[in-house]
Amino acid sequence: MAGARTPGSWLGRAVGVLRRIGASSLSGDSSETLSLVASAIVVGSLAGLAAVGFDRLVHGVGELVHLARGHLGLVPTALLTVLTPAVGGLLVAPIVVRWSPDARGSGVPHVMVAVSNLGGRVSRRLLFWRPLATALSVGTGASLGSEGPVVQMGASIASLVSSWWRLNDERRRNLAAVAAAGAIAATFNAPIAGALFALEEILGKFEGRNFSSVVIGAVSATAVSRSMLGDAPAFSVPDVYMLGSPLELPLYLALGLLAAVLAVATIRVLVGSEDLLNRWKVNPWFRPALGGLAVGLLALALPEVLGRGYDTIGGILNEDLSAPILLAGILLGKLLATGASIGSWGSGGILAPTLMIGAAFGALFGEGARALFPTLAIRPGAYALVGMAALFAGVTRAPMSSIVMVFELSGSYQMILPLLLAAVIATLAADLMHTDSYYEMMLARRGLSLLRARDTDLLQTVTVGEVMARDVPTVAAEDTVRDLADALVASHDHGFVVTPRAEPERMIGIVTLTDLERVRREELPDTTLIQEVCRCDVQCAHPEEPASAVLERMADLGIGRMPVVRRNAPDRPIGMVRQTDLARAYYLALRRERTQDELDGRLRLRDLTGQEIVEVKVPRGSRLAGASLREARLPHDTIVVAIRRGNRTLFPHGETTIEPGDTVVANVAPGFGPGFRALITDLADRPPSAGDAPTDG
């Protein structure tokens, strides 16, 4: 029909509006403060929309599962309870194994390392795969939350918007934190907690400019969320809880200490479950289903372990669930179910499960305290509230976020002293028992550390896949030691992957010059087969690993090379990485850092001045070749900020000569980019045209 607007046209209009907002806010006519405010409002609002959509999607999948169960009346309820999370695991497996491995688990560590090490760049693919994977996992019963995935999705949106507006890395990092704040704020209806979480966990620092933009983003996201979902908090908390007597403070201190022990146990269960499944060598395609099956079996006895558990948390806080046996069962069952879900690569965060475990623990502690001290009029629901904050602080080492989040949920200033005391004690005690938070543990297992927390390690910015040799030198297992010696002499390689002659793509071991020397020392005959002398316990690298982690492993093991394999195919080498390759990685990282520094400087210059940054390579025969910048008589509003000549970068002055092959980087007036390019590339044997760029004087 004439005049109809298709979804594509609406999407195009929306993108156009965002681009115009970014262009206007970043122009020289507006202050940098206005730019920060405008971008924080836009990204915060988008994060709020993403959080609302995420919540509705997870809820919708849960409703569909409920309806599907209703139409399977002939199937026993117990069987459906067990199988539903397993089926969800089968559905999510292709996403977390093949299409988007970054959609596994929480997503918060992924955003932390992206902001710290990668300039705030988060994959755009997560905009599609992350919500789908989390909805399938949590909606079918996986014992995970949606908060971490929403943070990751928000950071992906911020990265996309930053690319549209061509922001530098500093602004990218800032907007990723803005999106994270908006995601947490909109999910829990807790804007202050969202802002503090972004500053504590994502950025790792408090600075005036970061704080301002993060708060604006959190407020914008909360406004969007409240306009669509109302202003009720995520959990219904009675407003009658208060510190009944100062004599309760020692009890809250004890609760904080015990919460630290539980926090360390929680971290170990979550990490240990992944180690357990790794040791079992479960087929990756069935791994999420195995975790779902474990959750389903636990749910037979405790249905409360399924999903995010918001209703169960509300029941504990309101003292509707108060039986000590039930609280102990929820605590233990939820902990095991969360470990099974996270260890089997389920897609979801740990925040909601941690809050539920903390609530059950606090209520159980409160019930015990009430029995021991009946004269204090103890309310177990108040201890459940503080237990949530204490356990959250111990697991994440983000005490301010946990205190303020629970404070915003309760809305009662009367609980601030117990919250402060228990959360801080839990953080300090957990730090003494286990130095790393859960998020830091997950990064360490990937061989990563946050550059904000240590001197910059350039090799962390280069992956093994970027520097490995694609050709894998191989020898057949059935060859002899004499054949190996000939191969070593004929090639420049000092090590070979050993493969069966019938399956040349399958690795069964590795053999090196050191092994040949050992054969000579032991005086074994030259007819000895290679499969008898090769090493079968092969240490391998993965293409996505940072070069620094592999170099450290090589140094610890005293080896000079490693086959490179994919995690889902550990016996199919795709490359070989040597120490010389890792040395080359350092120079690649150094060159990349210099290029990025130059790009950041250019983008910041553009942001501050509103000018256009132009790069032009000087061709042979250019009319300006051989002339100095003074002689070139460039327009007044054109500034040459750098000249790249070979591997050098020159910072020019008036007498600097322009040579053929130079790349001239200039700051020009908006819209004059084509004219400047024409000026530099104009050939000496071409007569000037009327459209040539004007020159000064």
pLDDT along the chain (697 residues), means of 10: 41 50 45 78 93 91 84 77 92 92 89 84 89 94 92 92 83 90 91 90 76 91 91 75 87 96 96 89 91 94 92 92 94 96 93 95 95 90 94 93 85 84 95 89 75 57 87 91 86 86 91 87 88 89 87 83 89 90 79 67 56 82 85 80 77 82 83 82 58 39
Q: Residue ranges per domain, the chain?
A: 9-229, 246-285+303-453, 460-585, 611-681
Q: What is the pLDDT at residue 454?
A: 44
Q: What is the pLDDT at residue 10?
A: 44
For the entire predicted model, the pTM comes to: 0.67
Fold of 9-229: Clc chloride channel (1.10.3080)
- Could you give the count of Cα atoms lying within 13 Å of 134 in the half-sphere of its Cβ? 33
What is the tens place of the pLDDT at every residue in 399-415?
998 998 888 877 777 88
Is the CATH number 1.20.1050.10 carried by domain 246-285+303-453? no
CATH class, range 460-585:
alpha beta
Same fold, 9-229 and 246-285+303-453: yes
**What amino acid is encoded at 653 in this protein?**
H
- Could you give the count of Cα atoms lying within 13 Å of 148 in the half-sphere of its Cβ? 31
The span from the CA of 620 to the CA of 682, in Å, is: 10
Q: What is the pLDDT at residue 555?
A: 81
Report yes or no: 391 and 263 within 8 Å, Cβ to Cβ: yes
Q: What is the pLDDT at residue 134?
A: 94
Backbone dihedral angles phi then psi of residue 182, each to the nearest 5 degrees: -65, -40
Which residue, 370, 434, 369, is CA-closest to 397? 434
- Could you give the count of Cα atoms lying within 13 Å of 533 in the half-sphere of its Cβ? 32
CATH of domain 611-681: 3.30.70.1450
The span from the CA of 678 to the CA of 672, in Å, is: 10
**Element (DSSP H or E) covering residue 640:** strand 639-645
